[in-house]
Amino acid sequence: MNHFSACVGMILGAGLLAGSDTAIAEVSGVNIGSRRELFVDRHLIDKLDGASLQLHHPRPADIALRFDRPYEGVFAGYTTVIKDGDTYRMYYRGLAAAADGEANHSVGKEVTCYAESRDGIRWDKPNLGLFEINGNRDNNIVLAMTPACHNFCPFLDTRPGVEPAQRFKAVGGHGKAALLALVSADGLHWKKLQDKPIFTKGAFDSQNLAFWSESENCYVCYFRAGKKIGNKAYRWISRTTSKDFLNWSEPVEMDFGDVPPEHFYTNQTGPYYRAPHLYVAVFARFNPGRQLIASADQAQRLGIVGDYFSDTSDACFMTTRGGSHFDRTFMESFVRPGMGAANWVSRTNYPALGIVPTGENEMSLYVQRHYAQPSHCLQRLTLRPDGFVSVHAPYSGAEMITKPLVFSGKELTINFATSAAGALQVEIQDAAGRAIPGFALTDSTESFGDELERVVTWKSGADASKLAGQPVRLRFVMKDADLYAIRFR
């Protein structure tokens, strides 16, 4: 008997038989079809025994972009990254410091800049010649002289039947301008959809965003709001929906569960590209008054413009599957500020909107660094696809049992990783927790390695199609392993 089988035996011997307290006659099951499902929350999990949900942290990569042009400046920000076929598009606010070191947010001072890439790694700033600034048109500006430039946030509209002239849509604006709507056929030439705002019931002084939701069959907008808890006011997130992008529902304040309230600056919520029914939010957590830099003299030595050193921020992770609830399983930081004082200043470490594939085994996200400083830049970070969170099992062994699921397809694939000594086995049970003959743990082939889509097999092979359409549970018995996602196909 190998070590992994011995671990399995110990787990069974301990009496952890699946379904021992969940025998139920009829269970409808969560219908997952052939969708990819990530274990970023407990949506599909019934039991964890010795296993835990583990947040993984993206690895710093290269500097994707430096905000080094005069009209981009130390207050550039509110970045959006879109993968449009073979082209990666990046949009961000350009805003240089005023003479007094402050950020002048008036119309005419803020512009929307554009960068482009073929791989999401190396970025160029094309000279577009669309707007004149500083006496010439040799620049990468796609929008100017509108309140929408303050926080312009575009998206690629994936709604079936969308008009070619409106293939790209955007929202932007703050204060009395509220949310303006803009459209574009090519992502470069933008025009207002209408003169008046499409939505006015919010604060909007942040990066507000919208997208077409395939799962909810409507446009969804997450925007800056405020909430008072006790005697303290918090930066919050609200949501509204629309069928036509012009008429929007009454806003709904987002709920975050029974967790301590925090300030949400940018919310950066969007459908995850490999599982669009799941919305991933890598948001900026703002800590007003939490000051690391001791004095104005230290700030001046760092080159910090104005008084942007009295607060701190980092990037955190949460998810939602639609509706008014965000799941905050993880309160810990997803992206920490890191070493050195330059990233411990006000409004730095803000993530860009958009998580995109940048290789067969890699996806990238982008985070602003060194805000309000001459070295202000956008850094790329990487993760394995689906690699936000895993069901993690230690060397001593553990197991996870799902809720009853209904699937379509014939074979189960897993995104997983083990150590050289670790492994993973899968048992398929009926809804009451009884092993189905031919798919019991003793029939399961040991899986070990590190793959994005390994096909699970049993002694009879991989074909599980006879179980499709009926509620089943999946039991994972694991040792020194991480399970990121599953999919039937």
pLDDT digit string, tens, across residues 37-87: 999 999 999 999 999 999 999 999 999 999 999 999 999 999 999 999 999
pLDDT of residue 1: 41
Contact 272, 281 (CB under 8 A): no
Average pLDDT for runs of 10 along the chain of length 489: 44 39 57 98 98 98 97 96 98 90 89 98 98 94 97 98 98 88 98 96 95 98 96 97 98 97 98 98 97 93 92 98 98 97 96 97 98 96 98 98 98 98 98 98 98 98 98 98 98
Q: Answer whether 0.85 is exceeded by the pTM.
A: yes
What local confidence, expressed as pLDDT, does residue 100 receive?
A: 80
Q: What per-residue confidence (pLDDT) applies to 108?
A: 87
